[in-house]
Each structure stands twice: as C-alpha cells, then as structure tokens.
Chain A
Amino acid sequence: MTDQVAADAGWADPPPRKGFFTDTSICIGCKACEVACKEWNGVPDDGFNLLGSSYDNTGALGASTWRHVAFIEQPAPSGDFRWLMSSDVCKHCTHAACLDVCPTGSLLRTEFGTVVVQEDICNGCGYCVPACPFGVIDRRIGEQGTKNVGIAQKCTLCYDRLDAGQTPACAQACPTQSIQFGDLDELRSRAQQRVETLQAQGITDARLYGENPDDGIGGAGAFFLLLDEPEVYRLPPDPVVTTRDLPAMWKQAGLAAVTLLAGAAASFLGRRP
C-alpha cells in the first residue's frame, strides 16, 4: 500500500498520509502560496529578475522557491486564447529517489508520509539534486551568510505546522482553495469527483497528474488537476523514480567491474616479464 509509506519507513502507528491536491482549474495565479511559503519557512528571495515568461518571475522550483506558480499563455482547444496557472510543489513521492540516494540520512520520510530535508544533517553533497525526476530539490546558492547556503532545500509540507495540527502555509493562504491539504486518500476521491465534474462540463482535457499509485513514482503525495498535457505545465509526462533501475544497474556495474578487473589483471599479468 502506497499510503503506508510512513509505516514502511518504520514509524509505529503513523497518522494518515498527508498531501496536497492542487486544483489548477481554480488557480488565479495570485502567488499567495509562494509568499506564504517563504514567510513561514524563512526562505530567502530568489533574485529580482524580469524573466519575460508571462507573469512568472521566479522561474522554477528550486532551493529558494518551494512553491512556484507557472503561467502559460496558449490557444485554448476552443480556439480562444487561454492563460493557465498552476502552483507546483515537491511531489513527496511514494518512491522518493532523493531519499534513496541521500548518503547522510538527511532526507527523511516523516510520520505523515512526506519527505523532508534535515538541514542540520545535510552535508550538501548534492546527490539528491539529479535524482529528483521533477527537478524540485536543489542546493541553495548564495553569498556566505545566506541561510542554509549549500544545503539541499525543498518543500517540507510544513512539517512543523503539521506537528502542531495546522495546515501548511501555502494551502492556508490560497484564497480559492486551489491548494487543498488533507489525508491523501480523501484528497484523491475529492479530486476524482472534481475531474468528473469538469469533464461533464465539457472540459475533456481535465486530468489528474501524480495521483496514480501505479505510476513511476508510486503516486505522489502532492498531486494535481491539470487542464492539458503535463508537458504544457513543464511537468514530465511519465516521471519515473530515478533509482528504480538501481538494483539492475548495480548488477550491470558489478559485472562490468569484474570484467574490468579481470582485464586489468590480465594486462598486468601479461606485462610480467
């Protein structure tokens, strides 16, 4: 059961798995989620750069942007113009590659089933950065003295707020309930209903993204309702946990190593005068 990730990680009697359902069909792009996240978590600004990417000037998720609102201007299926907005966040994967590759144990599966960086343990090795299939986690770059500079950073689903029985800051701030927080199984059924409603209204491209436990990451703890293909929102269409093939890869690598060793030995042996 994918929703038993916390139990699988060794938590005794964990609470129900928590997550986000981000319904982009009602996002109004106000970015309150970005600001509330930074306020609560003490995340520094990400630089003052006009990107020319519609109204998006933080660019992408990263070490200093844990919620990111994408703005997509495109022709709608009807032929009219449309402006899609979507608040992206760490997916808190069931099979989390960042967690798998972390050599220090800094990345942790919490009792809520979320994935959190322990900033006092992270040594900034950066293995987790390429491991994430969504490009979410990153090491913070900045001048000396910047908080947590060099440390891997990402959404914690407001671990400290969950501990206190509170809603994560982004969901709390969202004025339209585009970001919904709750028990993952309940969110999934709510999302399913919402998709069916939209489809019945003729919005046939409405779909869920990341809710399926059978997908390449075992389902996301933070999933989305999209109005178009994931690529339109710059999301990978079929994300796969990057450590999925690790056992097989290690086997291949082991064979290769043995072969190399044998070759090397042979070459040494062959050189012996």
Chain B
Amino acid sequence: MAECHPVGFQWVMEAKARGATVIHVDPRFTRTSAVADMHVPLRAGSDIAFLGGIVHYILENEKWFPEYVVAFTNAATILREDFVDTDDLDGVFSGYDPETGSYETTSWQYEGIAEPAAGGQREPSQGEDDESRQERGGGHEMGGHGASLHDTEVHRDETLQHPRCVFQVLKRHYARYTAEMVAETCGVPVEAFQRVCEAVTANSGRERTTAWVYSVGWTHHSVGVQYIRGSAIIQLLLGNMGRPGGGILALRGHASIQGSTDIPTLFNLLPGYLPMPKAGEHDNLDDYVATITSPSQKGFWTEARKFTVSLLKAYWGDAANADNDFCFDYLPRLTGDHGTYATVMDMLADKVEGYLLLGQNPAVGSAHGKMQRLGMAHLKWLVVRDLNMIESATFWKDGPEIETGELRTEEIGTEVFFMPAASHVEKAGSFTQTQRVLQWHHKAIEAPDDCRSELHFFFHLGRKLRERLAGSTLERDRPLLDLNWEYLAGDPDEPSAEAVLAEINGRHLTGAKAGQPLSTYLDMADDGSTDGGCWIYTGVYADGINQAARRKPGREQSWVAPEWGWAWPANRRILYNRASADPDGRPWSERKAYVWWDEDEQKWTGHDVPDFMATTAPSYRPEPGTGGVEGLSGDDPFIMQADGKGWLFVPTGLLDGPLPAHYEPTESPVRNPFYRQQANPTREVFPRKDNLQNPSPPEPSWDVFPYVFTTYRLTEHHTAGGMSRWLPYLSELQPEFFCEISPGLARERGLEHLGWATIVTARSAIEARVLITDRVVPLTIAGRTVHQVGLPYHWGVGTSALVTGDSANDLFGVTLDPNVHIQESKVGSCDIRPGRRPTGPALLTFVEEYRSRAGSTVFTGNTQRTPEGADD
C-alpha cells in the first residue's frame, strides 16, 4: 500500500501511531513491509491456502464471534443433500462437468430452494466458435448485483449442529488447511503464521476490529474472486463487516477506478451494477428485471425496475415512455464475452474494425503484450487518447515485433489517431475512491494546445454523429438521435461536468417537484416520473448542491466526517452498518458504537447514515413468504443479499465454487498440495498457438520453467508508464527495468548485481538489469527451495518515452478468472539466465527452443480438469 498508494498510506501510519498492528502479507518486501510490524513473505499465488489456514485457526480455536455469526451470516442455513465438497471429489465441487469445464450449481443451493438459481451456468471457452463464446459471456451476468434466490424460506439451525448447515460444511472444508499445510503451500513458517492468526483474532470481537486491505495482487489471478471470498469468510466469522475499523478494502489502481466500476467501463455492466442485457434472453424490460431479482426474494434489488427505468429516462428522456418499454430496445445486447482479451482475439480474426484507447496502454499494461500489439495491427483504425505518445500509439513503427520481423510497418493498415488528453488538473470532475467517496476536483489550469477532456471528446463526438445522422429514418439510428445530449451550460465548447453529475443524480420529471433533483434513490419510480443515471449515486446532487465538492475539515465535524465529499449510497461511510449493533440493536461495545436502534424514537440512529430501513425494529420479523424490502428481518443487516445474511457459503452467483479452495496458478512449478486438481478447473483457457502455456506439475517438463515470477508497481511509476515515463522527475527515480532476485538465486544462476538477466516463458523472453537483494527471500515449499523473481511492469519498448525497456507483461499468456474475466498476471513460472536476450528473429528461435524443450502444445496447461492418475 505504501508502494502504490503512498498518500492513502498516511492513515495506516496514523493508525500505527495510535497502536494498530500492521501486518504485511506479500511475496515481496516493499516500502509497506519496511514500516509494518510484521512482513510475511509467501509464494505468489498461494493466498487461498493462507486465508483458508486462518479460517481453520478461527474454527479450531473457537475464535469466531458466535452472536454475530449466528444472527448475521448464513452459518445456520442448511444446504441440500446432494452438495459434495472438494475433499470427496478430488478437488472439484459437485456439479462439475469435465467436458465443459464448468459447474451446474443446483447442488450448492440452500435446502428448500426449489428452482436452480439464475446464472452460474457457463459453457466452456475451449475453441473459439461463436456459440461457446456467447455462453461464456453470459456466465457472469450477475455483474455486481448479487445473485437472486427464488425463495426466502431458507431452513436454519441456529445451534449450528446440523451436519448440512453452512457452519459444519465450512468446518469440514477447511479441516485440512492446517498451519503445516500453509507452510508447505505458501512457504510461511508455522510460527510466523501463528503470529498472524493470533494478531488477527486478538484484534477482532466486540471491542476491536481488523481490516483487510488488498489490491491487484489478490485479483489478477485465475482464482482472484475466491481470494476475496477467503477474506470475506474470515471477516464474517470474526464479525468485522459493517463495523468501524473493519471491512475488506480494495485499493484501486487509478484515482477513480471505483468510479469507472460504478459507472462502468466494463462491457457487461450498466451504471449502478445493473447487468447489461443479453441478446435472446432479455427481449423486454420485464424479462430483464426478472433475471436481476425474484419478487419473492428479500432486499433492495427487488427495486431494480425503478433503477432501470430511471436510467433509461436519463439516457433517452422524453423518447422513453411506458408505451415503448422506456426505450429498453435501444440498449445494446451482449452476444458473448466482449472483454478485453476476447476483443483482442477478435481483432486477430479481423472481426473488429476500430478501437478506442482512453488512458490505457495495453501494448505494455495488458497480459500477453505481443497478442495485444499484433491484434491492434489488424485494426482499420485506432484512437489513442492519452497524455503522451504511448507505446500503444507507436507499436506500428517501434514495437518489439518490428525488430523481430513479425510486423512490418508498411504492411500495417491500422490508421492511428492520437488525441492529446487533458490531465485531471485541467478539467473538472469527480474521483470516486475505494471507500466509495466522491471527491470533486475543479479545473486548476487550462489544458495546453489541443489537449481536451474526455467529456469534451465524447460530447462533441456524440454531437457530430447526431448531426451526421440527422434526418435519418432508419430504426437503427434512433438510439443515437433520441439521446438526451444537453451538457453545455454557458461555455459553448466545454460541456459542464456538473451537468453530468446532475443527470447522474436524477430528477423529478413530473408533479409538484418537477425539475428538482432527487434526494435519495428511494425517490426513484418505475413509471417514468423520475430519471437518474446511476441509482447508487442519487443524492450526490441533492438540493441542487454538488455534495461531492464539500471539503469541511475533519476537525470541524464528527469523526465519521460525513461532510467531506459524498459517499454512495446515501452518503453512508460504512456499508451494512446495521451489523455494528447486536441483533437487539445495541452497540456491540461502547468503544465500537457506530449505528444503533433508538428505542425511544423507534428508529435507527448513530454516527453514520444507518444502512437499514429507518424504522424497522430489531425485533421485526416478516410474515413468511414476504419478499422485497419488507421481507428483511430486523436482524438482516446485509440488505442487498437475497436472504439478508452475510454469505460464508455462496449458494449461487459464482462459477468456480461456493467456497474458496486452493488451486495452483495456471503456471506453477509446484504440485497442488491439497487436491488432485492442480489449477482452477473452471479457469478460462485459450488453447491457441499464439497462447502456449508453460507446463506445470503433474505435466512433464515443468522444470524447464522452475521459478515463480510476479509483477508489481513501484511508487515512482504509474502502471504502464503513460503518466510517468515521459516525466523527467519520475523517470530519474526509477530509470530502468530491473528484476529483483535473492542472493541465492543469483548464485544458482550466475547472475550479477547490475548485470543483465533474460527471463523466459512460453510466450517471450525479456531482458532486465539485475538487482540482488535480501528483500527477496527463497521459500521452502514441500521440502524444496522455490525462488521468486520480482518484476516491475512499468517499461515498454518504444522511442517516445524518456526511459524505455522490455515489458514484464510480455511474459504472460492469457488465462482468465471465469467470474470476471480478469487475467492471471500476478504470477507465472519462468526461467532466468544471465546475459541479454537475443535480438531480431533470433529472439523467436530462442523462445521456440524453450517451448520445444518444455513440449508445449496448445493442450499444455489448458486442460481444465487434472486427469486421474496424472501423478503416476
């Protein structure tokens, strides 16, 4: 966190000064480790074993928070009889189909839930025929809205003794995740692991809370979602959710990545975590809403129709009305996986004509850089909007493939348009950070020359397209022509960011309040009388005031600081904060009092905006069968969940298992110590000749790539370097690409400090200067030494930046997490050897020799289910 988020890290340092214990679990010794109370190095890609070990410790030593767990989680909920866990199925859960590499998830369901849950089905990704791809894209329509349950009548045993209750299933699942197994899998000594367990459990309970903070070191994996799930189980067992000082905090890579998820740049989501509709399934609004929520389930997602209609009204204004389904037909439909990697493969197949890159440098920042660059060379046109002439804009003349002869400039038909971008100080707008707080920034200076804001670009692009289409009678042009497109306020050229914020917030369209901003998403209606571009942001422009621009100093308000910026939803600073009070509505302790039930006033009150129905008493119990918001009991704090409970076990919504199980990374020199199954059996694989994988045990010849490597950022640079490698003051601080290795690996491979090393995988070979440091420690895994190589990924090959170098992401292939299509780019296997890499066509031969020695074919590493007898 100190390494990549130094400004936010000031609060960790402040907490430490006030007595907090800071533990850093990371393969790498970073600037965070330097000031932490304890650094725990572990093998990259082994975190589920680590987290599972903590779950084991909590259950084994009865360190869980019984009142919280029984009342607020699904620990008591009873599962179906046909659920079978990994221990009995060689590392897969019941419902696995080895033919498709996917689960049929009915058996994971709660007992008594009649129908199979929505979602959770997915066809395999093997091959690239359109049919299978369509299914794959459909697999995660859950987006962010949580899975629906088709019945609220779950069976519970609050003694937690029923053998099929979640608590007992959890106990059995993690029985083998002992400290010894953690040591064998992660390389963390038993004593160090015990210290972590003791610190975490000692700092949880009524009086204390523990927070988990993670970043892409947890998400860029073929099991990334399950890493976070592991942490969620710990936090629920210890009662650390919905309480001050608790939670699971995702640190985002850019200033507003949270914002670009809320109002998404993701292909499968609409604003506010509404799913993007699918072709053939969502022919009308009713169909669409029905797949988000079941009318009989509990919680706020039953209001999804109001959120959707308001969004459609924000998009299409007067054109959207009840008679035309509020223009629901105008929305694009998903026909499959249109994620970034699927799109690149479509480029290679000449299915994509044009591409817009906005502050993104995939030639350097995305996994399998070669595939990215070769794909872009197939485009007809490419628009790059950036601060600098990044490698993705210049690959056609100075990329690595020009040198190897794989691309020839004169043969590339891609027309590249470079649009210089304004930086954040040259435009107004909001950032949404990890705590969901929107903070407004005003324009400080005019952008130079032709540099323009994103808002300017898209507003005028829309304006010009609409002008071109004016008078068109074609049905297909209606969505563009009917758009609400009024954002100029005074300035004839630069659209008003505040006008966009007002539209996001939403307005009353009819009645006495017509024209007034909505105050809360509870104001939204499904009859077209309100609009609003993102329901979770409603309130940010309440009373016509830009609430995100509030900057009241902390010392002038309560410690929760509700008047600094604005947090979604409804300015709540901690989500699910009903859980900060006990089932009866009293604070768990005075020290941790946050939100509580006021018996005299008969309402919820406290330091924050209560995240609960304001007047629903703790003792309230709905009539059986009640759905929607009224279906939530007074002790159902997780109001967006279909049963109001925190999910230790996920009955529906995930594609790769209801509980996290340790799988090895798709490329690993270590055999999975837990199961026959080596890697995630549902990972998305792409068996293509241009995406060969290193073999991993039990496949033969895995030892051609005997080392683990991981990639990361340095404080001095920003991601793929577009914002830092063109600045002298940052470039001088980290001028060259380097690899970090231990003295032991240096001896083993004859590598010299400040000399050169060549790092090789089945995709490519890159060269880096060598830094030998005690910050990298060899790990003992299952009795043998495993070395790790650390690679910062900021550099790229080109001629425009002040500092250039090989790109670490060129080493990765494309293998994805099945739930969210994220690439596994934080861990892989490699070889490392002294000296510089070959140049020109000789580089291709060099890599080919490695592939040949490793016997890599399109099947290597791409068989999802590890075959029986594979270890023989």
Contacts and interface: CB of A to CB of B under 8 A. Distances in A.
B644 to A, nearest CB: 40
Contact of B13 (A26, A31, A48, A58): A26
Interface in A52-87: 52, 54-55, 57-58, 73, 81-85
B729 A28 contact: no
- Binding site of B, secondary structure by majority: helix, strand, loop or mixed? loop
B773 A57 contact: no
A30 B736 CA distance: 17
Interface string A109-142: 0000000000000000000000000000000000
B731 interface: yes
Contacts of A177: 10, 13
Contact of A83 (B9, B17, B33): B33
B34 A82 contact: yes
A29 B10 contact: no
Contact of B715 (A26, A31, A47): A31
B96 interface: no
A197 to B, nearest CB: 9
A176 interface: yes
Interface string B257-269: 0000000000000
A161 B62 CA distance: 58
A39 interface: yes
A29 B29 CA distance: 13
A45 B6 contact: no
Contact of B716 (A31, A44, A45, A84): A31
Contact of A48 (B7, B735, B771): B735
Nearest to B753: A52
A32 B732 contact: no
A175 B771 contact: no
Nearest to A80: B39
Contacts of A175: 6-7, 9-10
B10 A83 contact: no
Nearest to B33: A83
A35 interface: yes
B729 A39 contact: yes
Interface residues of A, number: 31
Given A50-B738, A52-B771, A81-B775, A45 B715 contact: no
Given A52-B753, A58-B733, A81-B774, A32 B6 contact: yes
Contacts of B35: 26, 28
B753 A85 contact: no
Nearest to A194: B17
Contact of A30 (B17, B31, B771, B802): B31
A49 B803 CA distance: 10
Contacts of A35: 729-730, 733
B731 A48 contact: yes
Contacts of A211: none
B728 interface: yes
Interface string B1-22: 0100011011001000100000
A28 B9 CA distance: 9
A28 B736 contact: no
B29 A81 contact: yes
Interface in B806-863: none
A34 interface: yes
Nearest to A44: B728
B768 to A, nearest CB: 10
B414 interface: no
Interface string B392-413: 0000000000000000000000
Interface in A135-179: 175-177
B769 A50 contact: yes
A49 B735 contact: yes
A219 to B, nearest CB: 27
Interface string B709-745: 0000011100000000000111111111010000000
Contact of A57 (B10, B715, B732): B732
Interface in A18-48: 26, 28-32, 34-35, 38-39, 44-48
Nearest to B715: A30
B754 interface: yes
B483 to A, nearest CB: 42
A28 B6 contact: yes
A29 B31 contact: yes
A44 B731 CA distance: 12
Contact of A45 (B2, B17, B728, B773): B728
A47 B715 CA distance: 19
Interface in B415-452: none
Nearest to B773: A73
B729 A50 contact: no
A254 B754 CA distance: 52
Contacts of A32: 6
B857 to A, nearest CB: 39
Contacts of A30: 2, 6, 31, 715
A28 B733 contact: no
Contacts of A57: 732-735
Given A81-B29, A83-B775, A55 B6 contact: no
B597 to A, nearest CB: 39
Given A48-B803, A54-B773, A57-B734, A29 B715 contact: yes
A38 B729 contact: yes
Interface in A226-263: none
Contacts of A49: 735
Contacts of A44: 728
A29 to B, nearest CB: 5
A186 B7 CA distance: 26
Contacts of A82: 34
Contacts of A39: 729
B735 A50 contact: yes
Given A29-B34, A83-B34, A55 B734 contact: yes
A33 to B, nearest CB: 11
A52 B769 CA distance: 9
B806 to A, nearest CB: 14
A34 B733 contact: yes
Nearest to A28: B2
A73 to B, nearest CB: 6
A45 B34 contact: no
A73 B2 CA distance: 17
A34 to B, nearest CB: 7
B754 A52 contact: yes
A47 B773 contact: no
Interface in B16-44: 17, 29, 31-35
Contacts of A54: 773
A82 B32 CA distance: 11
A73 B716 CA distance: 19
Contacts of A84: 34
A82 to B, nearest CB: 7
A46 B773 CA distance: 24
A96 B10 CA distance: 34
Contacts of A55: 714, 716, 734
A28 to B, nearest CB: 4
A30 B803 CA distance: 19
A54 B6 CA distance: 18
**Which of A44, A46, A175 neighbours the largest number of chain B CB atoms within 10 Å of its CB?**
A175
Interface of B: 2, 6-7, 9-10, 13, 17, 29, 31-35, 714-716, 728-736, 738, 753-754, 769, 771, 773-775, 802-803
16 contacts: A28-B31, A30-B715, A32-B6, A34-B733, A35-B730, A38-B729, A44-B728, A45-B729, A49-B735, A50-B754, A54-B773, A57-B734, A81-B774, A81-B775, A83-B775, A175-B7
The 10 residue pairs across chains A and B that have the minimum distance between CB atoms: A48-B735, A45-B728, A30-B6, A83-B34, A50-B736, A28-B2, A52-B754, A45-B732, A175-B10, A176-B13
Interface of A: 26, 28-32, 34-35, 38-39, 44-50, 52, 54-55, 57-58, 73, 81-85, 175-177
Given A35-B733, A50-B735, A177-B10, 10 more contacts: A32-B6, A34-B733, A44-B728, A46-B732, A47-B732, A48-B728, A48-B736, A55-B716, A58-B733, A175-B6
